[in-house]
Structure 1
């Protein structure tokens, strides 16, 4: 049996599926909801059934090393299948692999020449979902000796399952809390076992995920490099009771002055991040739950209302000017003594000793350069320190420093 020799697995993966459009994303559905309720059908692809219009197969034929090779990877989802129960008829699992086109060396598996795909699965950013299904197989191939004589049956077939973010290479979502599936998506089928096998895994949708839907995919072709005996297999793969269930979340409301500022949804067993509340003239001290200070390092135990605790933002102490010097033409350098717990400084300067028509310059540094001064003039200088409140407004020292003067060079 001759092997597929192909180098375009990655480039052609983007044309493997036929999608469904127009499915709305979920919006805080109750825990236990099967989010597949609005979807109708999986779609299938194989090299030989050419759902991509033959693009994959024609690309293979264009590679010199593959000319004349039989493209055997073929199968399809049978009529009457639904989103929760489907049968995939594998005519031939093929013997496809990814090869180096210069050396003919087998470099990688390529099971993506035969797939079952479900797109537009609605999800919420930051939420956990449990994927669960029963699966069984009747796949078989003949096991032969060196002379080509049949010596038994091959009944084991490894397949891949992937939950992914559509686009940009279809990045896979991590599988956790797995049962009968590895964290990287391998499922081991054995047609010698008549009973179906229950498979489950948890996925977490990233908090910053914007699309509102994900894709699910089974890769059913040969894994030629990793499992070299599992080639040219035929039979059925039965998938039943396929669900994607929204896991439990708690609602955390952040409240200030009897108004809800923010609402966050937190997966069971996880912590909630604090909310940076803003209030003019005040500093956020923390939050309380049921009158007790809330510890953000603890797991959220239930639905919560967290109440912001405030204190008036204290004005910084009076600042001191260390020196004011003019060593360059039309410039003066104001040096301040560093103050504690401040965000910056403001320097006011004027040629009027009572600071009429004064200009002001702020800086986070203790050395402030005043420019475009009049040579020979006397400039009066005074300063304040400032901090910021929770709304990022500056809160200045209540009193100016003692004034100093400088003769501009």
Structure 2
């Protein structure tokens, strides 16, 4: 797997909600050889150990409670813990034409994500499939079992027409909050 980080995944509001999200903040992808016209099953188990404290920004103060200012007279900020924790990590995955500059996704079918016999799969207006990993869920030792089928288009004119040996990309997004 090739893992890439853009350096940030979310900006949080003072109310503890996500104000701005970068769902592709951390990605992992893999390219595999395939044959045109065949169905392939993507399957994996994944677990989250996430326990992160939700932080809030506030003005930095000295020992006397006065706001500390920078050389331009602006209040300096700092991040402090709220005592509230997030245990749920959302992931998205797709199968795609890795030779397409836009990474066009191929249609997934029979998509399942279960833990302890319960589905943790959902869809949103922007992402499908969408898997919620809850580090507090201890069923199946915390592992979510995920599977999906993908069909590679049959005709060379429909899929990677310039390649004798077609390939398929599989990409995972581990952004802070996918919506």
TM-score interval w.r.t. the shorter chain?
A: 0.5 to 0.7
In the alignment, structure 1 residue 215 sits paired with structure 2 residue 169: yes
2:102 corresponds in structure 1 to: 169
1:157 corresponds in structure 2 to: 89
Alpha-carbon distance, 1:109 to partner: 4.4
In the alignment, structure 1 residue 197 sits paired with structure 2 residue 129: no
The unaligned stretches of length 5 or more in structure 2 are 13-18, 59-79, 114-120
Q: CA distance change for structure 1 residues 114 and 170 in 2, over 3 Å: closer, same or farther?
A: same
1:125 corresponds in structure 2 to: 36
Report which structure shows greater RCO (CA 8 Å, sep ≥6). 2
- Cα pair 1:165 1:172 within 8 Å, conserved: yes
> Of residues 50, 69, 75 in structure 2, which corresponds to 1:139?
50
CA RMSD of aligned residues (A): 2.8
Q: Work out the CA distance in 2 between the residues paired with 1:174 and 1:218.
A: 15
Higher strand share: 2
Q: Give the match's secondary structure for 2:24.
A: helix
Aligned length: 130
1:44 corresponds in structure 2 to: 3
How high is the TM-score relative to the length of structure 2? 0.62
Alpha-carbon distance, 1:220 to partner: 1.0
Alpha-carbon distance, 1:192 to partner: 0.9
Q: CA distance change for structure 1 residues 175 and 116 in 2, over 3 Å: closer, same or farther?
A: same
Q: CA distance change for structure 1 residues 138 and 130 in 2, over 3 Å: closer, same or farther?
A: same
1:188 corresponds in structure 2 to: 132
Q: Work out the CA distance in 1 between the residues paired with 2:49 and 2:28.
A: 17
1:150-203 Cα distance to aligned partner (Å, 9 max, x none) = 343210111111110122300011111111145722111111124211101111
Q: CA distance change for structure 1 residues 47 and 152 in 2, over 3 Å: closer, same or farther?
A: same
- Cα pair 1:145 1:151 within 8 Å, conserved: no
Which has the higher Rg, Structure 1 or Structure 2? 1
How high is the TM-score relative to the length of structure 1? 0.29
- Counterparts of 1:365-376 in structure 2, within 5 Å, are none
Q: Work out the CA distance in 1 between the residues paired with 2:177 and 2:135.
A: 17
Q: CA distance change for structure 1 residues 221 and 124 in 2, over 3 Å: closer, same or farther?
A: same
- Cα pair 2:5 2:27 within 8 Å, conserved: yes
Q: Work out the CA distance in 1 between the residues paired with 2:84 and 2:133.
A: 17
- Cα pair 2:122 2:131 within 8 Å, conserved: yes
Q: Give the match's secondary structure for 1:129.
A: strand
1:334-378 Cα distance to aligned partner (Å, 9 max, x none) = xxxxxxxxxxxxxxxxxxxxxxxxxxxxxxxxxxxxxxxxxxxxx
